[in-house]
């Protein structure tokens, strides 16, 4: 049975200058890589932004608040990342570690574990955590966490059991439901501002996930522009521009409602960009590889946060994950956090009081015991401890070690150079896997090296239904309750 989290009696950081609880708007992009915007994620380093895509409103957001150069999605795929940001727990602990069943075939050397297909009712979501503090909560856009819906997990208003499919109300002027999500969110925000009730709004977008969709005028704009060396896809650039336009509209709506001084806006992506052009024209350089792998291109993502007490145009190189957002929202709202979560609040860094986090865990854990798309998408575990990153390949039981402070592209494997550090980090990884009760792959007794590999899955995602079918697209209008 879920426990309702008690209120903290004193949490001065959770209130604005006027004493009202702050509002939260959480904007989640789908498949947007670390260099998928025109914001330098490391200020002064032009290689850390796109050389073609334009996102002036995300630039504005960065100028208003703090960008994190070493922000990580909790997973390299969308479904586990969504489960993690909702709970503050790693996907390894929740036992949701890939979209779909992820069971593998006889062509695979290992047999992946059977994971959960539904977001567990036993988990406490951020909406449920904030409810005792009087928050109204809404979830607009992509759910992709099974056949249930956000209303069964504390959200007052939501779009239903949505997935990767293109929402039914998308069209030429509303590609990927980019602007429809905004319209529903604005109605929710206006209603709660009128009632004087604090709100938590999740805008979990379908963009910039494949298949590409963009407004005609946006595509025309980028057809006329000089292409970059890393990024050159015209429709993808147009879709990115449309997505950015929606963020500008969110900022304008917050201003028009008179709540800018008391509203936090968080922008993040659910995983890194695909490195296969078939699934979106992205290039994650200077990062290595991409979506579905535990290399930097699959995990490192843009994260920008603005709101009361956050210095304009500020920057943090601290390694953080999407799991850290849950406790951050709780601290700002003045509610307690369940003891056993992975994340740590970012409030002290965002306020400028601290430069680093005093985490209660000794490393960041990323775990995928399944096979995915491409030769690098196989059972893998990674941890980040300080500047060092350790990656384990479960098929070969081999390790790679990288110093991210000097080698963001993971080009120089240090496993043989620093054997003592390697052994220490292997022990840290093993302890993290045990402490989270992580599911592990095992040898496949039916392995056949001559068996055909499964066909690559389409851009709709593993195990997805068609539009309007089970696991299909959005409903086109908000729903209330469960």
DSSP class per residue in 46-89? GGGS-SS---HHHHHHHHHSEEEEEEE-SSSSHHHHHHHHHHSS
Determine, yes or no, domain membership for 99: yes
Q: How far apart are CA 84 and CA 90, in angstroms?
A: 5
Number of structural domains in the chain: 2
* Cβ pair 123, 185 in contact under 8 A: no
Residue 207: pLDDT over 90: yes
Between the two ends of the chain, the Cα-to-Cα distance in Å is 17
Tell me the percentage of the chain whose pLDDT exceeds 70: 88
Note the pLDDT tens digit of each residue in 24-53.
Answer: 999 999 999 999 999 999 999 999 999 999
Determine, yes or no, domain membership for 8: no
Determine, yes or no, domain membership for 4: no
Q: How far apart are CA 364 and CA 313, in angstroms?
A: 26
Q: How far is the CA of 282 from the CAs of 113, 224, 236, 288, 460, in angstroms?
A: 31, 19, 8, 12, 17
Q: Are 297 and 401 found together in one domain?
A: no
H helices of 260-395, in order, are 296-299, 325-333, 347-350
Note the pLDDT tens digit of each residue in 364-400.
Answer: 999 999 998 778 889 999 999 999 999 999 999 999 9
Q: Shortest CA distance to 387 belongs to which of 430, 343, 425?
A: 425
pLDDT-derived band at 15, boundaries 50, 70, 90: very low
pLDDT-derived band at 339, boundaries 50, 70, 90: low
Determine, yes or no, domain membership for 480: no
Q: How far apart are CA 400 and CA 376, in angstroms?
A: 13
Q: How far apart are CA 369 and CA 414, in angstroms?
A: 24
Listed residues 356, 382, 398: the one ending a domain: 356
CATH number at residue 402: 3.30.1120.10
Q: Are 346 and 222 found together in one domain?
A: yes
pLDDT-derived band at 20, boundaries 50, 70, 90: confident
Q: Are 110 and 244 found together in one domain?
A: yes
pLDDT of res. 21? 96
Q: How far apart are CA 237 and CA 461, in angstroms?
A: 21
Domain that holds residue 283: 21-356
Q: How far apart are CA 224 and CA 382, in angstroms?
A: 42
pLDDT of res. 263? 98
Locate tokens 């599911």: which residue?
439
The contacts of residue 339 (CB under 8 Å, 6+ apart) are none
Locate tokens 């330098």: which residue?
40
pLDDT of res. 481? 60
Average pLDDT over residues 449-475: 49
Q: Are 305 and 398 found together in one domain?
A: no
Determine, yes or no, domain membership for 471: no
pLDDT of res. 475? 44
CATH number at residue 173: 3.40.720.10
Note the pLDDT tens digit of each residue in 71-100.
Answer: 999 999 999 999 999 999 999 999 999 998
Q: Are 273 and 399 found together in one domain?
A: no
pLDDT-derived band at 482, boundaries 50, 70, 90: low
Q: Are 370 and 349 found together in one domain?
A: no
pLDDT of res. 103? 80
Determine, yes or no, domain membership for 467: no
Determine, yes or no, domain membership for 296: yes
Listed residues 321, 356, 391: the one ending a domain: 356
Note the pLDDT tens digit of each residue in 126-151.
Answer: 999 999 999 999 999 999 999 999 99
Q: How far apart are CA 175 and CA 235, in angstroms?
A: 11
Average pLDDT over residues 420-429: 98
Residue 402: pLDDT over 80: yes
Q: Are 306 and 406 found together in one domain?
A: no
Q: Are 391 and 351 found together in one domain?
A: no
Listed residues 356, 378, 397: the one ending a domain: 356
Q: Are 389 and 244 found together in one domain?
A: no
Q: Are 351 and 209 found together in one domain?
A: yes
Residue 18: pLDDT over 90: no
Q: Are 372 and 342 found together in one domain?
A: no
Helix (H) or strand (E) holding 321: strand 314-321
Q: Are 410 and 387 found together in one domain?
A: yes
pLDDT-derived band at 205, boundaries 50, 70, 90: very high
pLDDT of res. 130? 97
Return the HEC string of 210-260: CCCCCCHHHHHHHHCCCCCCCCCCHHHHHHHHHHHHHHHHHHHHHHHCCCH
Locate tokens 């922008």: which residue?
267
Tell me the percentage of the chain whose pLDDT exceeds 90: 83
Residue 464: pLDDT over 60: no
Q: How far apart are CA 304 and CA 41, in angstroms?
A: 9
The contacts of residue 227 (CB under 8 Å, 6+ apart) are 52
E strands in 331-439: 364-368, 380-385, 388-393, 398-403
Residue 304: pLDDT over 60: yes
Helix (H) or strand (E) holding 314: strand 314-321
Determine, yes or no, domain membership for 194: yes
């Amino acid at each position: 049975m879920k426990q309702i989290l008690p209120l903290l009696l004193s949490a001065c950081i959770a209130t604005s200058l006027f004493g009202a609880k702050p509002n939260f708007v959480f904007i989640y992009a789908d498949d947007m890589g670390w260099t998928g915007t025109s914001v330098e994620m490391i200020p002064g380093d032009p290689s850390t932004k796109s050389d073609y895509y334009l996102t002036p409103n995300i630039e504005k957001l960065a100028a208003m608040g703090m960008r994190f150069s070493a922000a990580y999605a909790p997973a390299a795929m969308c479904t586990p990342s969504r489960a993690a940001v909702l709970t503050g727990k790693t996907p390894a602990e929740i036992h949701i570690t890939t979209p779909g069943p992820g069971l593998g075939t006889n062509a695979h050397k290992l047999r992946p574990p059977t994971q959960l297909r539904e977001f567990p009712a036993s988990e406490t979501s951020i909406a449920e955590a904030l409810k005792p503090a009087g928050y109204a909560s809404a979830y607009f856009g992509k759910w992709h966490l099974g056949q249930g819906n956000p209303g069964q997990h504390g959200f007052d208003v939501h779009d239903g059991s949505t997935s990767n499919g293109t929402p039914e109300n998308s069209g030429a002027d509303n590609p990927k439901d980019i602007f429809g999500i905004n319209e529903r969110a604005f109605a929710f925000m206006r209603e709660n501002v009128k009632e004087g009730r604090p709100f938590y709004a999740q805008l979990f977008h379908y963009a910039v996930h494949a298949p590409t969709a963009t407004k005609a005028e946006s595509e025309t704009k980028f057809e006329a522009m000089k292409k970059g060396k890393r990024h050159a896809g015209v429709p993808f650039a147009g879709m990115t521009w449309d997505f950015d336009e929606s963020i500008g509209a969110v900022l304008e709506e917050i201003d028009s409602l008179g709540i800018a001084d008391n509203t936090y806006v968080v922008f993040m992506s659910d995983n890194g960009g695909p490195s296969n052009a078939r699934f979106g024209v992205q290039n994650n350089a200077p990062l290595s590889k991409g979506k579905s792998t535990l290399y930097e291109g699959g995990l490192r993502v843009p994260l920008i946060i603005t709101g009361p007490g956050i210095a304009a145009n500020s920057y943090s190189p601290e390694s953080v994950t999407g799991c850290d957002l849950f406790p951050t929202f709780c601290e700002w709202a003045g509610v307690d956090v369940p003891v056993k979560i992975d994340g740590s609040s970012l409030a002290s860094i965002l306020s400028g009081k601290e430069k680093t986090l005093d985490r209660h865990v000794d490393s960041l854990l990323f775990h995928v015991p399944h096979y995915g798309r491409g030769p690098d998408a196989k059972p893998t575990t990674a941890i980040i401890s300080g500047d060092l990153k350790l990656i384990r390949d479960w098929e070969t039981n081999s390790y790679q070690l990288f110093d991210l402070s000097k080698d963001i592209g993971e080009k120089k494997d240090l496993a043989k150079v620093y054997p003592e550090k390697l052994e220490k980090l292997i022990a840290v990884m093993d302890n993290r896997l045990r402490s989270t009760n992580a599911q592990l792959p095992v040898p496949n007794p039916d392995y056949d090296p001559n068996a055909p590999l499964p066909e690559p899955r389409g851009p709709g995602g593993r195990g997805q239904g068609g539009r309007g079918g089970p696991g299909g697209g959005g409903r086109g209008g908000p729903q209330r309750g469960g």
